[in-house]
Structure 1
Amino acid sequence: MSEPAELLAFLLAKLSHQGRNAVKAILARGQVSVNDRVVTAYNHPLKPGYAVTISMEKPDQAPPLVGLSILYEDDDLIIVSKEAGLLSIASTQENEVTAYRQLNEHVRRTDPAGRIFVVHRLDRDTSGVMMFAKREDVQQALQNNWQEAVLERTYVALVEGNVKKPEGTISSWLKESKTLKMFSSPYPNDGQHAVTHYKTLRASPQFSLLQVELETGRKNQIRVHMQDLGHPVVGDKKYGSRSKALTRLGLHARVLAFAHPVSGETMRFETEIPKSFLHAFKDEARP
C-alpha cells in the first residue's frame, strides 16, 4: 500500500466485489493479518509498506448458542430470540448458562475487550425477542428513554378458560410481597402503575390465545394481570394456573419495535407464535 489508511476502508477498496457486511465479517473472524499479526479492529492504522494478508478460509466456527438465536447485530445492539427455560441473566446464587453469558462470549470472539449490557429481561420461562446493548452509553440511552424508544412490545399469552370479553384493558398498581410475588394493590397510587391491553386471537372452552400489548413494563405484569382477569397464564403456578397443557409458561414476547438509539431508525422484530400454544387447541378438538 502507498498511502496511510484505516484497515476497514482499505479492505472495502480491495474487496470491492464483496458487500460491506461480508468484509466486516471476514475481519471479525480473524481472517486478516497485518505484518503477520491477526487484526480485527476496523480502525487499525495502516502505513505504506505494511503487508496485509487475507485468508479466505473461514476459521473454526464458534460453538452454537444454546437456547437463543441472534436476529440482528450491529455495533450498538444485539437482538435475540430466547427460548423458554433459559435465564436472561444469572442471579448471584446461580452459575449456569444464560443469554447474557453466551452473548458476552460471542462479542469477545471478535473484540476481546467487548461486552454486552442488559437493557430489559424476560422471565426464565418466557420466550421471545430480547434486546442487549453492546455499549454502556447505548444501554443508558435506551433505559432512560424506554417509554419513548419502544414503539411496540407485543406478547402472545395462552391462558386458562374462555375469555368472554374479546378485548380489553387492565390497569392496576403493582407491588411486590415479602415473598417476591407481585400483586395488584386495592389502593390507587399504591405501587407502580401498570397498564395491559389484550385482544383474543383464538378461544375455546378450556383456553384462550391472547395478543397482549404492554403500555408499561413492570415485573410479572402480564402474569399478574391475567390472574386479575380470572384467566391465569397456562403453566403459571405462581399466579394461579392449574393447567398442565404446556411443559412451560404460556407466554411469548412476539414483537419488539423501537427507535434505534444511535441512528434513530425504526426497527421491528417479529417471531412466530410457539407451536405448542396452538397445539393446545388441536389437542382439545380430539374426541
Structure 2
Amino acid sequence: MKEIIITNNESGQRMDRFLKKYLNKANSAFIYKMIRKKNIKLNNSKVEPEVVLEKEDVVQIYLSDDTIDKFREKKSLLQTAIHFKVVYEDENILVVNKPVGLSTQPDLTSKKSLVDEVKMYLDAKEKNISFTFKPAVCNRLDKNTSGLVIAAKNYETVKQVNKAIRDRNIKKYYETKVHGIVLKDLELEDYMIKDDYKNIVEIVKEEIESAKKIITYVHPIKREGKFTWLEIELETGRAHQIRAHLASIGHPVVGDKKYGKRDNEKYQILHAYKILLNGFEEELSYLNGKEIISHIDERYVL
C-alpha cells in the first residue's frame, strides 16, 4: 500500500486527473476501476473521481509496490551542462540569465534547452518531492536573444506568474544597439503577421486578417558613432517583435541576420535586462514591486 500526502503542487486538481499523472502508464479504465473497487481511497474513505484534492489530503493506493511501479513511468531528465546564470532565487521563483544560442523550449534544432537545464538544476538542488508537478519556464526569449527568464518552482507560482503576464502586470525591458541615430522617445503601434513556415514576421500599419497588434516603447540611452543604444519596453510580447518593429522604422538591431543589415557583429545585440514584478497575491505578494536586473554586459554566448 502506498500513501501520498498532497502538497500545494498537487492540490486544486481532481482525484482522477492526479492519478492519471501519478500512474501515468495506466489507462483511464484501470484507474476508474480501482477507484470504484475502493483500491484507491482518500483519507481512508471511498472517493469519487471528480473530488478536488486539498493540501494535506492523504491518497491511499492499495496495490503492491510492483504493480504501482509497473504503472509509473519515471521520466529521466536530459543530462546536460548548466549554461544559465542565476540572477534571483527564493523558495517559489527562479530568475535566470539565458545565454545567446540556447533555446528556451526544446526544438528540433537543438538537443538542449533552458527548460531542460532549469528542471535539472532544481531537481538536483531541491530534490523535488512533487509527485506530478515539474518546474515551469514562464516567459520565452528567442534563441539568439539573451537575458532574464522566469521559472516557477511550484504550481501556485506558475498560475500567478502566468496570470500576471497575461494581465501585463509584469513589465519587461530590453537593451539593444541599433543602426542609425534615434533622438527621442518613440511609441510604436502597428500590426504583425507571422509566416510560420519561414519563421519570419511582417509589420503592417493596418489591421488585417491574421494580424496581431503590437506596441513597443523606445527610449534612447546613448549615441555610439552611427549607432544608438536603446531601452525597449514591451506592451505586447510577440516573437520577433522588437527586431521586426525596429527594422520597420529603419533602425534594425545590430547583428540581426534576419531583419537587419550587414555588419561585423556575430550575434544580435539584444538583451532582456530588467523585469518588474507586480500582480501577485497572498503568499506571493512579497514579490510585488521587485525589480530584477542583469545588464547586457553580463550576457554571454553559449
| 1:230 and 2:250 matched | yes
CA contact (8 A) 2:87 2:294 kept: no
Q: In the TM superposition, what is the alpha-carbon distance from 1:107 to its structure 2 partner?
A: 1.5
Give the 5 Å matches for 1:83-122.
83-91=99-107, 93-109=108-124, 110-113=126-129, 115-122=134-141
Q: In the TM superposition, what is the alpha-carbon distance from 1:112 to its structure 2 partner?
A: 4.2
Counterparts in 2 of 1:271 and 1:88: CA distance versus 1, 3 Å = same
Give the partner amino acid of 1:67. Answer: H
Give the partner amino acid of 1:121. Answer: R
What is the distance in 1 between the residues matched to 2:299 and 2:291?
24
Q: In the TM superposition, what is the alpha-carbon distance from 1:102 to its structure 2 partner?
A: 1.3
| 1:81 and 2:102 matched | no
Percent pairwise identity: 23
**Of 139, 143, 150, the match for 1:124:** 143
TM-score (normalised: structure 1): 0.67
| 1:195 and 2:210 matched | no
CA contact (8 A) 1:150 1:256 kept: no
Aligned length: 213
| 1:183 and 2:202 matched | yes
CA contact (8 A) 2:99 2:299 kept: no
- Unmatched runs of 5 consecutive residues or more in structure 2: 1-55, 57-78
TM-score (normalised: structure 2): 0.64
CA contact (8 A) 1:78 1:134 kept: yes
Match of 2:192 in 1: 174
What is the distance in 2 between the residues matched to 1:169 and 1:201?
15
Higher alpha-carbon deviation: 209-218 or 255-264: 255-264
Give the partner amino acid of 1:175. Answer: I
Q: Which runs of 4+ in 1 moved over 3 A?
A: 63-66, 147-151
What is the distance in 2 between the residues matched to 1:273 and 1:180?
26
CA contact (8 A) 1:80 1:130 kept: yes
Deviation digits for residues 161-188 of structure 1 (CA, Å, limit 9, x no counterpart) = 222x321111111110241211113422
| 1:271 and 2:294 matched | yes
What is the distance in 1 between the residues matched to 2:112 and 2:187?
37
Match of 1:159 in 2: 178
CA contact (8 A) 2:164 2:170 kept: no
Counterparts in 2 of 1:264 and 1:111: CA distance versus 1, 3 Å = same
Deviation digits for residues 138-182 of structure 1 (CA, Å, limit 9, x no counterpart) = 32332233144634311011111222x321111111110241211
Q: Which has the higher contact order (CA 8 A, sep 6+)?
A: 2
What is the distance in 1 between the residues matched to 2:267 and 2:129?
36
Pairwise CA RMSD? 2.6
